[in-house]
Structure 1
Amino acid sequence: MHQGAVAVLRWNRPGKRNAITAAMYARMADLLAAADADPRVKAIVLGGTGPAFSAGNDIDDFIRHPPMGPDAPVTRFLHVLAALVTPLVAAVRGPAIGVGTTMLLHCDLVYAGSDARFGLPFAQLGLCPEAASSLLLPRLSGHQRAAEKLLLGDPFDAEEARAMGFVNRIVAPEAVEDEALRQAQRLVALPVAALRATKALLKADPMQTVAARIDAEIAQFAALLGGPAAQEALRAFVEKRRPDFAALDGPKR
């Protein structure tokens, strides 16, 4: 959907709190790439349909279509997201779990409802971070704070997300998308070349690139996904029980 020079893209699976399937990743990657290539589009707003941003990966679909390698739909989505030259504004309501949080690290502006809840439960699923979050979150929040979220996986609210540096402003839940659109319209009023040059400079990195970190993470993620801990965690999720990791790990070397 377009509102003038703003492309508005939404995860659209409200009955499942916008849990993301492989097909949804593929479609969103196409929509983001098309908006970025469209000369009429000067800003993009990313949100969720209904009272949720995204509950993360759809676990049943994830089990059937594991993201094993650089050609996986989620990997393409993440690379498209990271490479956008058009300013990207996120409107976050309700849960933003796993990739629902990590994708926000690639947004230029993030506005969250007071009902927003974030979580990075990768280790709890026997997995590791993705979307270059192991690179970007420590830059924003410092090593210890990022480590607490990525290792322990405890959920946190919008106030803490703002304190960590990846939420710009907290508003009433019903006002989130309006606020994101208002800020996007402010961007639209500015010179495109200046916006794109500024965004490119903000994202420039003399060390490891985001694209390289995405690839490094997805390789490790794929290796862990085939391991016993991830398989136990995914089975436990489907069976609605706590995972039992006690018998899986041998002595540390």
Structure 2
Amino acid sequence: MSMNGYHGSEDDILLSIEDRIAWITFNRPEALNAFGPAQFHRLADLLDGVSVNPDVGVVVLTGNGRAFSAGGDVREFTKKGLVDTGVYAIRAMTSIRSCRKPVIAMVNGIAVGGGNELVIAADLAIAARSARLGQAGTMIGACPVLGGTNVLPLQIGEKRAKQIVFFSEKVSAEQAFEWGWVNAVVDDADLESTTREWAERLLALHPQSLQIAKAGSNVWWNYSYDTMVNGLDMIAMGVPAESVDEGRDAFLEKRPADYSRWR
């Protein structure tokens, strides 16, 4: 896959359909299933495909290895890369919401940054007990405008969401459940079987009614969409490229970032 200089592989995200459940698995475990523009582009394509596939009734998103997704690939962060990733990410988030089938996030491990925003976008979320969820944007010169700043407050409350976003905090799966961030927390060994059970329950219900229920429930996401586009524009216009470089380098060098030049 090649798009404007971005290269990805179909192996980065896998699709398996069995018993009317589409399993979409993020498959870059060595990079904690981090996403760049190519991976978000492929995810959107896969979601759009299963949305109209009559052999699919439910979609499950999950990760291979110890992470659901660590979000954007910090190793490749530049100002342009950050903005381009956001452009493709907003399409993937929209594809989750516009998918005609219920989408379950099976959160098998850490879900941070854009990875957490995929959880926010999903219709339902079931987390392994070992999972952690949160944001990291303010540490590295980014901001989670595709769900973290606008939809997460609707799910867990404004003050809690601001705490997560402002401080780039991560919380346990149990805390996320108490706040309404995820629907259920189960032992790691029970994650797949529980997710399959929820999917089978959905498959037994009236499909058009579920589709209508999902479309109606998207009202707050739809209201938030303009803030996502505007947020990306503000990052593109207002974040200095050098500050993104400093955030990336500090993260990779495991040192505090020095943003004093941009205060």
| TM-score higher than 0.5 | yes
- Residue of 239, 243, 248 corresponding to 1:229: 243
Q: Quick check: 1:91 aligned with 2:91?
A: no
Shift of 1:177: 2.1
Which moved further from structure 2: 95-104 or 118-127?
Answer: 118-127
Q: Quick check: 1:146 aligned with 2:161?
A: yes
DSSP 3-state at the match of 2:81: coil
Aligned equivalents of 1:178, 1:136: Cα separation in 2: 28
Partner in structure 2 of residue 156 of structure 1: 171
Aligned residue pairs, count: 248
Aligned equivalents of 1:57, 1:246: Cα separation in 2: 24
CA contact (8 A) 2:37 2:85 kept: no
CA contact (8 A) 1:67 1:75 kept: no
Aligned equivalents of 2:24, 2:215: Cα separation in 1: 22
Aligned equivalents of 1:89, 1:208: Cα separation in 2: 19
Partner in structure 2 of residue 216 of structure 1: 230
Aligned equivalents of 1:26, 1:168: Cα separation in 2: 27
CA contact (8 A) 1:102 1:130 kept: no
Partner in structure 1 of residue 50 of structure 2: 35
Which moved further from structure 2: 141-150 or 214-223?
Answer: 214-223
CA contact (8 A) 1:69 1:222 kept: no
- CA 1:116/1:177 → structure 2, altered by over 3 Å: closer, same or farther? same
Cα deviation, 1:154-194, whole Å, max 9, x if unaligned, reads 22111111122121111111221221121011111111101
Shift of 1:70: 9.5
Cα deviation, 1:47-99, whole Å, max 9, x if unaligned, reads 00122101111112333861436993223222222322310011112211111
Cα deviation, 1:7-55, whole Å, max 9, x if unaligned, reads 1101001122111222211111111110112122111000001221011
DSSP 3-state at the match of 2:202: helix
Shift of 1:128: 1.7
Judging by fraction of residues, say which structure has more strand. Answer: 2
- Residue of 204, 223, 226 corresponding to 2:219: 204
Higher RCO structure, 1 or 2 (CA under 8 Å, sep 6+):
1
DSSP 3-state at the match of 1:146: helix
Q: Which amino acid aligns with 1:30?
A: D
Shift of 1:115: 0.3
DSSP 3-state at the match of 1:66: helix
DSSP 3-state at the match of 1:133: coil
Aligned equivalents of 1:176, 1:102: Cα separation in 2: 20
Instruction: Provide the TM-score with structure 1 as the length reference.
Output: 0.90
Q: Which amino acid aligns with 1:216?
A: N
Aligned equivalents of 2:36, 2:189: Cα separation in 1: 26
DSSP 3-state at the match of 1:53: strand
CA contact (8 A) 1:35 1:41 kept: yes
Partner in structure 2 of residue 72 of structure 1: 87
Unmatched tracts of structure 1, length 5 or more: none
Aligned equivalents of 2:34, 2:147: Cα separation in 1: 20
The percentage of aligned residue pairs carrying the same residue is: 29
Aligned equivalents of 1:215, 1:201: Cα separation in 2: 22
Aligned equivalents of 2:86, 2:241: Cα separation in 1: 20
Shift of 1:211: 2.6
Unmatched tracts of structure 2, length 5 or more: 1-15
- CA 1:248/1:212 → structure 2, altered by over 3 Å: closer, same or farther? closer
Instruction: Provide the TM-score with structure 2 as the length reference.
Output: 0.87
CA contact (8 A) 2:20 2:58 kept: yes
Which moved further from structure 2: 134-143 or 110-119?
Answer: 134-143
Q: Which amino acid aligns with 1:209?
A: Y
CA contact (8 A) 1:132 1:213 kept: no
Q: Which amino acid aligns with 1:100?
A: G
Which moved further from structure 2: 224-233 or 139-148?
Answer: 224-233
